[in-house]
Homo-oligomer: A and B are copies of this chain.
Amino acid sequence: MIRVWPISPRQACLTNKRSTLADSDETGPEDNFMVTPLLKVVLTEDDGPVRERLARIVHEWPEAELCAACATLEETQAAIEADDIDLLITDLKLPDGSGIEAIRFLARRRSEAEAIVISVLADERSVLAAIEAGASGYLLKDADSIDLIEAIRDVMAGRSPISSRIARVLVRRLSENGNTAAENEGARPALTEREMDILWGIAKGFTYGELADSLAISRQTVPVHIRNIYRKLQASNRSEAVFEAARLGLIRL
Protein backbone atom coordinates (compact mmCIF):
# COMPACT_ATOMS: atom_id res chain seq x y z
CA MET A 1 0.00 0.00 0.00
CA ILE A 2 1.30 3.40 -0.96
CA ARG A 3 0.16 6.70 0.34
CA VAL A 4 0.87 10.34 -0.28
CA TRP A 5 2.80 11.73 2.61
CA PRO A 6 4.15 15.16 3.36
CA ILE A 7 7.92 15.31 3.57
CA SER A 8 8.98 15.59 7.14
CA PRO A 9 12.05 17.68 7.95
CA ARG A 10 13.54 14.51 9.39
CA GLN A 11 13.16 12.54 6.19
CA ALA A 12 14.36 15.35 4.01
CA CYS A 13 17.38 15.63 6.21
CA LEU A 14 18.17 11.97 6.26
CA THR A 15 18.31 11.01 2.65
CA ASN A 16 21.01 13.12 1.18
CA LYS A 17 19.64 15.81 -1.02
CA ARG A 18 16.26 17.32 -1.00
CA SER A 19 16.19 17.27 -4.77
CA THR A 20 16.25 13.50 -4.85
CA LEU A 21 13.11 13.41 -2.88
CA ALA A 22 11.44 16.13 -4.81
CA ASP A 23 12.33 14.63 -8.18
CA SER A 24 10.86 11.27 -7.39
CA ASP A 25 7.54 12.91 -6.88
CA GLU A 26 5.36 13.43 -9.91
CA THR A 27 2.04 13.85 -8.23
CA GLY A 28 1.67 17.55 -8.70
CA PRO A 29 3.10 21.04 -8.45
CA GLU A 30 3.55 20.73 -4.68
CA ASP A 31 6.98 19.25 -4.25
CA ASN A 32 6.25 19.07 -0.56
CA PHE A 33 4.50 15.79 -1.20
CA MET A 34 5.97 12.47 -2.13
CA VAL A 35 4.94 8.87 -2.37
CA THR A 36 5.92 7.11 0.82
CA PRO A 37 5.24 3.69 2.16
CA LEU A 38 3.45 3.37 5.44
CA LEU A 39 5.29 4.29 8.59
CA LYS A 40 6.56 1.04 10.07
CA VAL A 41 5.98 0.95 13.80
CA VAL A 42 6.97 -1.46 16.55
CA LEU A 43 5.16 -1.16 19.84
CA THR A 44 6.51 -2.55 23.11
CA GLU A 45 4.54 -2.64 26.36
CA ASP A 46 4.52 -5.43 28.89
CA ASP A 47 1.03 -4.80 30.22
CA GLY A 48 -1.39 -6.70 28.00
CA PRO A 49 -4.48 -4.48 28.11
CA VAL A 50 -2.45 -1.30 27.69
CA ARG A 51 -0.55 -2.87 24.82
CA GLU A 52 -3.78 -3.86 23.14
CA ARG A 53 -5.19 -0.40 23.54
CA LEU A 54 -2.13 1.31 22.09
CA ALA A 55 -1.82 -1.26 19.34
CA ARG A 56 -5.38 -0.63 18.30
CA ILE A 57 -4.78 3.09 18.12
CA VAL A 58 -1.78 2.63 15.86
CA HIS A 59 -3.46 -0.08 13.88
CA GLU A 60 -6.54 1.95 13.18
CA TRP A 61 -4.49 4.90 12.06
CA PRO A 62 -4.27 4.59 8.29
CA GLU A 63 -0.85 6.17 7.94
CA ALA A 64 1.07 3.57 9.90
CA GLU A 65 1.70 -0.12 9.74
CA LEU A 66 2.08 -1.89 13.06
CA CYS A 67 4.88 -4.39 12.41
CA ALA A 68 4.84 -5.91 15.87
CA ALA A 69 3.36 -5.44 19.32
CA CYS A 70 5.87 -6.81 21.79
CA ALA A 71 5.79 -7.56 25.51
CA THR A 72 9.49 -8.15 26.11
CA LEU A 73 12.87 -6.75 25.22
CA GLU A 74 13.77 -9.91 23.36
CA GLU A 75 10.68 -9.76 21.17
CA THR A 76 11.37 -6.12 20.48
CA GLN A 77 14.91 -6.73 19.37
CA ALA A 78 13.75 -9.56 17.16
CA ALA A 79 11.15 -7.29 15.61
CA ILE A 80 13.74 -4.58 14.98
CA GLU A 81 16.01 -7.17 13.38
CA ALA A 82 13.23 -8.54 11.20
CA ASP A 83 12.02 -5.30 9.74
CA ASP A 84 13.44 -1.89 8.82
CA ILE A 85 11.18 0.01 11.11
CA ASP A 86 10.74 3.76 11.27
CA LEU A 87 9.47 4.17 14.79
CA LEU A 88 9.69 2.35 18.09
CA ILE A 89 7.17 3.11 20.79
CA THR A 90 8.27 1.48 23.99
CA ASP A 91 7.72 1.15 27.69
CA LEU A 92 10.79 1.23 29.93
CA LYS A 93 10.00 -1.45 32.49
CA LEU A 94 10.08 -4.75 30.64
CA PRO A 95 10.20 -8.20 32.23
CA ASP A 96 13.58 -9.03 30.70
CA GLY A 97 15.29 -5.64 30.67
CA SER A 98 14.78 -1.98 29.98
CA GLY A 99 13.21 -0.32 26.98
CA ILE A 100 16.32 1.84 26.94
CA GLU A 101 18.23 -1.17 25.65
CA ALA A 102 15.70 -1.52 22.88
CA ILE A 103 16.24 2.12 21.95
CA ARG A 104 20.01 1.64 21.89
CA PHE A 105 19.55 -1.48 19.83
CA LEU A 106 17.40 0.40 17.35
CA ALA A 107 19.84 3.30 17.18
CA ARG A 108 22.63 0.91 16.24
CA ARG A 109 20.61 -0.87 13.54
CA ARG A 110 18.76 2.04 12.03
CA SER A 111 20.07 5.37 13.20
CA GLU A 112 17.43 7.22 11.21
CA ALA A 113 14.56 5.57 13.06
CA GLU A 114 12.80 7.40 15.85
CA ALA A 115 11.84 6.26 19.31
CA ILE A 116 9.14 7.35 21.73
CA VAL A 117 9.04 6.27 25.35
CA ILE A 118 5.74 5.73 27.08
CA SER A 119 6.36 5.07 30.75
CA VAL A 120 5.25 5.78 34.28
CA LEU A 121 8.86 6.49 35.20
CA ALA A 122 9.67 10.17 35.59
CA ASP A 123 12.90 10.01 37.56
CA GLU A 124 15.94 11.78 36.24
CA ARG A 125 17.95 8.65 35.57
CA SER A 126 15.32 7.01 33.41
CA VAL A 127 14.54 10.14 31.49
CA LEU A 128 18.11 11.12 30.75
CA ALA A 129 19.14 7.58 29.94
CA ALA A 130 16.29 7.29 27.46
CA ILE A 131 17.15 10.60 25.81
CA GLU A 132 20.83 9.77 25.64
CA ALA A 133 20.00 6.39 24.18
CA GLY A 134 18.26 8.22 21.39
CA ALA A 135 14.61 8.64 22.31
CA SER A 136 13.03 11.71 20.74
CA GLY A 137 9.75 11.57 22.61
CA TYR A 138 8.83 10.73 26.18
CA LEU A 139 5.23 10.50 27.29
CA LEU A 140 4.19 9.97 30.86
CA LYS A 141 1.63 7.22 31.27
CA ASP A 142 -0.25 9.04 33.97
CA ALA A 143 -1.24 11.71 31.48
CA ASP A 144 -4.99 11.81 31.31
CA SER A 145 -5.12 10.59 27.79
CA ILE A 146 -2.09 10.24 25.63
CA ASP A 147 -2.65 11.45 22.13
CA LEU A 148 -0.47 8.83 20.52
CA ILE A 149 -1.16 9.81 16.94
CA GLU A 150 -0.32 13.41 17.69
CA ALA A 151 2.92 12.26 19.30
CA ILE A 152 3.82 10.11 16.31
CA ARG A 153 3.14 13.00 13.96
CA ASP A 154 5.30 15.24 16.14
CA VAL A 155 8.25 12.94 16.26
CA MET A 156 8.20 12.10 12.57
CA ALA A 157 8.11 15.81 11.80
CA GLY A 158 11.26 16.40 13.78
CA ARG A 159 9.60 17.61 16.92
CA SER A 160 9.75 16.07 20.39
CA PRO A 161 6.50 15.20 22.11
CA ILE A 162 7.34 15.31 25.78
CA SER A 163 5.09 15.44 28.83
CA SER A 164 5.57 18.60 30.79
CA ARG A 165 6.69 16.72 33.89
CA ILE A 166 9.39 14.97 31.87
CA ALA A 167 10.37 18.21 30.20
CA ARG A 168 11.13 19.64 33.61
CA VAL A 169 13.83 17.04 34.06
CA LEU A 170 15.47 18.11 30.81
CA VAL A 171 15.15 21.77 31.66
CA ARG A 172 16.65 21.26 35.09
CA ARG A 173 19.57 19.37 33.65
CA LEU A 174 20.29 22.00 31.04
CA SER A 175 19.85 24.95 33.34
CA GLU A 176 22.24 23.35 35.81
CA ASN A 177 24.88 23.43 33.12
CA GLY A 178 24.25 27.11 32.70
CA ASN A 179 24.39 27.79 36.40
CA THR A 180 27.55 25.91 37.16
CA ALA A 181 29.26 27.50 34.19
CA ALA A 182 28.13 30.91 35.37
CA GLU A 183 29.18 30.21 38.94
CA ASN A 184 32.61 29.04 37.91
CA GLU A 185 32.89 32.18 35.89
CA GLY A 186 32.92 34.14 39.07
CA ALA A 187 35.28 31.93 41.05
CA ARG A 188 37.60 31.58 38.11
CA PRO A 189 40.96 33.21 38.63
CA ALA A 190 41.93 35.73 35.99
CA LEU A 191 44.96 34.55 34.07
CA THR A 192 46.78 36.97 31.81
CA GLU A 193 47.04 36.27 28.09
CA ARG A 194 50.61 35.17 28.44
CA GLU A 195 49.69 32.86 31.27
CA MET A 196 46.93 31.33 29.16
CA ASP A 197 49.47 30.73 26.40
CA ILE A 198 51.79 29.07 28.86
CA LEU A 199 48.93 27.06 30.37
CA TRP A 200 48.07 25.67 26.97
CA GLY A 201 51.65 24.71 26.39
CA ILE A 202 51.79 22.96 29.74
CA ALA A 203 48.64 21.01 28.93
CA LYS A 204 50.21 19.91 25.69
CA GLY A 205 53.26 18.68 27.55
CA PHE A 206 55.76 21.24 26.31
CA THR A 207 59.05 21.61 28.16
CA TYR A 208 60.50 24.95 29.19
CA GLY A 209 62.52 25.04 26.00
CA GLU A 210 59.62 24.20 23.70
CA LEU A 211 57.41 26.69 25.49
CA ALA A 212 60.04 29.41 25.17
CA ASP A 213 60.52 28.69 21.48
CA SER A 214 56.84 28.51 20.61
CA LEU A 215 56.13 31.82 22.32
CA ALA A 216 59.42 33.41 21.27
CA ILE A 217 60.44 34.32 24.80
CA SER A 218 63.40 33.45 26.92
CA ARG A 219 63.69 30.06 28.48
CA GLN A 220 64.14 31.71 31.85
CA THR A 221 60.91 33.62 31.59
CA VAL A 222 58.78 30.56 31.21
CA PRO A 223 59.05 29.24 34.77
CA VAL A 224 58.08 32.62 36.14
CA HIS A 225 54.79 32.56 34.31
CA ILE A 226 54.33 29.00 35.34
CA ARG A 227 54.80 29.85 38.98
CA ASN A 228 52.31 32.69 38.68
CA ILE A 229 49.85 30.22 37.22
CA TYR A 230 50.50 27.87 40.11
CA ARG A 231 49.79 30.65 42.55
CA LYS A 232 46.54 31.64 40.87
CA LEU A 233 45.33 28.09 40.51
CA GLN A 234 46.64 27.07 43.91
CA ALA A 235 48.62 24.31 42.29
CA SER A 236 52.16 23.29 42.95
CA ASN A 237 53.12 21.51 39.76
CA ARG A 238 52.16 21.10 36.14
CA SER A 239 49.75 18.23 36.33
CA GLU A 240 47.87 19.78 39.21
CA ALA A 241 47.67 23.05 37.32
CA VAL A 242 46.24 21.32 34.26
CA PHE A 243 43.75 19.48 36.43
CA GLU A 244 42.59 22.66 38.13
CA ALA A 245 42.43 24.53 34.85
CA ALA A 246 40.29 21.82 33.32
CA ARG A 247 38.06 21.72 36.37
CA LEU A 248 37.55 25.47 36.27
CA GLY A 249 36.87 25.41 32.57
CA LEU A 250 39.87 27.56 31.74
CA ILE A 251 40.92 25.02 29.17
CA ARG A 252 38.44 23.83 26.60
CA LEU A 253 39.06 20.13 26.19
Binding site for B on A (CB under 8 A): 128, 131-136, 154, 158-165, 167-168, 170-171, 173-175, 177-179, 181-182, 202-205, 235-243, 246-247, 251, 253
Contact = CB atoms under 8 A, between A and B. Distances in A.
Nearest to A169: B160
A38 to B, nearest CB: 22
A5 B149 CA distance: 34
A240 B242 CA distance: 8
10 contacts: A131-B178, A134-B175, A159-B164, A160-B165, A204-B240, A205-B240, A242-B242, A243-B253, A246-B246, A246-B253
Report copies per complex.
Answer: 2
What 5 pairs between A and B have smallest CB-CB spacing?
Answer: A132-B178, A205-B240, A159-B164, A160-B167, A238-B239
A179 B134 CA distance: 9
Chain B CB count within 10 A is highest, among A131, A173, A179, A243, for A243
Contacts of A253: 243, 246-247
A249 to B, nearest CB: 9
Contacts of A154: 164
A114 B177 CA distance: 18
Nearest to A155: B164
Contact of A246 (B171, B177, B242): B242
